[in-house]
């Protein structure tokens, strides 16, 4: 095939094409990262939906047509929701404080109002038996704490009150005065606690529903945001596709212009015809598509197609020539890679056989 010498303007033009192609590939890399991020988001979202599928059908019906609040509105709602919930919890803690005060005023409550005087009473094994000491006075102080270290919910206070009496019954033998006093006060506490428990349960359920609602709104906002990203990615892909099509048309025009000065020789046409005949079925169909672009009447997908190389335009011949060249260069690289792998495998097998033989050789 004849050698083509390009002038300086031609080289500059090729460099421009190369730069444009590089820019397009950079855009494609960025788009691929964005697509992966969006894909990962929806994969995680689907996993969450599957893990919480129980009762989802009802909720999905409720969510249809739901208004998705903005991030700012969600933040405002969250702040207001927390403030309202805190007030409700304060009211529950106030009612619990009434129960604690009633227990503390009982005539048998005095042993439990202060921490156990372990040293003064000579209770050397107390901390071996009791892992977490607790008393009603400490509970009262923690309920009234204003520095943020106090109780956050009523159930935590309830657990500590039970701990006071459980510790006393655990350390003092059954039948002793302290054991009996602790058991009696614990029973009275449980009676009063059962009256308050329905309100506590209702509040916990309400907070759980509010939290689920908030999480759902956050998820909807994220989905809306990713939907916008998907639309933006779609627009960018269309733009890249347009740029590629424009670049292709420009290259085709340049090839057509080049063919005016460069006629393909008879020898090159014969070599091209031979090369086309050696193409695989898949590559041959692609070659026919190239020819069909300049020959609208050609049925590229017909079972039998006769190609007359001499009848093709110069631009078609050169485009076909570039395509065939790329195909066979790709095959050569693939074959070279496979041969290299085979040689490497052969060397490894030989080494393995040598090692195996040496390992079987008896030691002297």
By percentage, how much of the chain surpasses pLDDT 90? 30
Q: Which of 44, 53, 62 is nearest to 223 (CA)?
A: 44
- Which residues are CB-neighbours of 293 under 8 A, at least 6 positions away? 316
Among 38-42, 243-247, 349-353, which stretch is predicted with the lowest mean pLDDT? Answer: 349-353
Chain segment 292-320, per-residue pLDDT in tens:
887 776 665 556 667 788 888 887 888 88
pLDDT at position 157: 96
CA 27, 28, 29, 31 dihedral sign is positive
Given a contact cutoff of 8 angstroms between Cβ atoms, the answer to whether 44 and 193 are in contact is no
Start-end of CATH 1.20.920.10 domains in the chain:
76-222
Residue 255 pLDDT grade (very low, low, confident, very high; cuts 50, 70, 90): low
Residue 162 pLDDT grade (very low, low, confident, very high; cuts 50, 70, 90): very high
Q: Which of 265, 320, 272 is nearest to 293 (CA)?
A: 320
The CATH number corresponding to 76-222 among 3.40.980.10, 3.40.50.980, 1.10.630.10, 1.20.920.10 equals 1.20.920.10
Residue 61 pLDDT grade (very low, low, confident, very high; cuts 50, 70, 90): very low
- Which residues are CB-neighbours of 277 under 8 A, at least 6 positions away? none
Q: How far apart are CA 100 and CA 136, in angstroms?
A: 8
pTM of the full structure:
0.48
By percentage, how much of the chain surpasses pLDDT 70? 73
pLDDT at position 343: 63
Q: How far apart are CA 230 and CA 42, in angstroms?
A: 11
């Amino acid at each position: 095939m004849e050698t083509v010498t390009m002038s300086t303007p031609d080289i500059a033009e090729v460099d421009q094409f190369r730069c444009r192609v590089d820019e397009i590939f950079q855009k494609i890399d960025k788009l691929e990262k964005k697509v992966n991020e969006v894909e990962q988001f929806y994969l995680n979202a689907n996993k969450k939906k599957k893990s919480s599928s129980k009762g989802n059908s009802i909720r999905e019906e409720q969510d249809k047509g739901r208004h998705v609040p903005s991030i700012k509105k969600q933040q405002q709602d969250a702040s207001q929701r927390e403030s309202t919930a805190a007030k409700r919890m304060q009211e529950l803690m106030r009612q619990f404080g009434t129960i604690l005060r009633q227990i503390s005023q009982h005539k048998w409550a005095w042993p439990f109002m202060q921490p156990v005087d372990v040293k003064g009473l000579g209770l050397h094994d107390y901390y071996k038996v009791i892992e977490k000491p607790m008393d009603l006075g400490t509970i009262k102080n923690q309920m009234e704490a204003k520095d943020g270290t106090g109780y956050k919910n009523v159930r935590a206070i309830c657990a500590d009150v039970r701990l006071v009496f459980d510790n006393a019954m655990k350390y003092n033998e059954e039948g002793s005065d302290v054991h009996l006093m602790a058991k009696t006060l614990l029973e009275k506490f449980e009676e009063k606690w059962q009256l308050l428990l329905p309100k506590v349960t209702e509040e916990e359920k309400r907070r759980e529903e509010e939290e689920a609602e908030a999480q759902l709104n956050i998820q909807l906002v994220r989905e809306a945001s990713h939907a916008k990203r998907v639309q933006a990615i779609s627009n960018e892909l269309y733009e890249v596709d347009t740029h590629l099509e424009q670049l292709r048309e420009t290259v085709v025009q340049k090839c057509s212009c080049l063919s005016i000065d460069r006629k393909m020789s008879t020898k090159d046409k014969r070599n091209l015809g031979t090369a086309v005949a050696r193409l695989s079925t898949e590559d041959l169909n692609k070659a026919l598509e190239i020819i069909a672009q300049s020959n609208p009447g050609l049925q590229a997908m017909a079972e039998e197609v006769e190609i007359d190389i001499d009848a093709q335009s110069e631009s078609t011949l050169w485009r076909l020539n570039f395509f065939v060249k790329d195909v066979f260069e790709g095959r050569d690289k693939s074959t070279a890679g496979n041969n290299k792998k085979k040689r490497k495998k052969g060397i490894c097998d030989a080494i393995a056989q040598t090692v195996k033989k040496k390992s079987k050789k008896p030691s002297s």
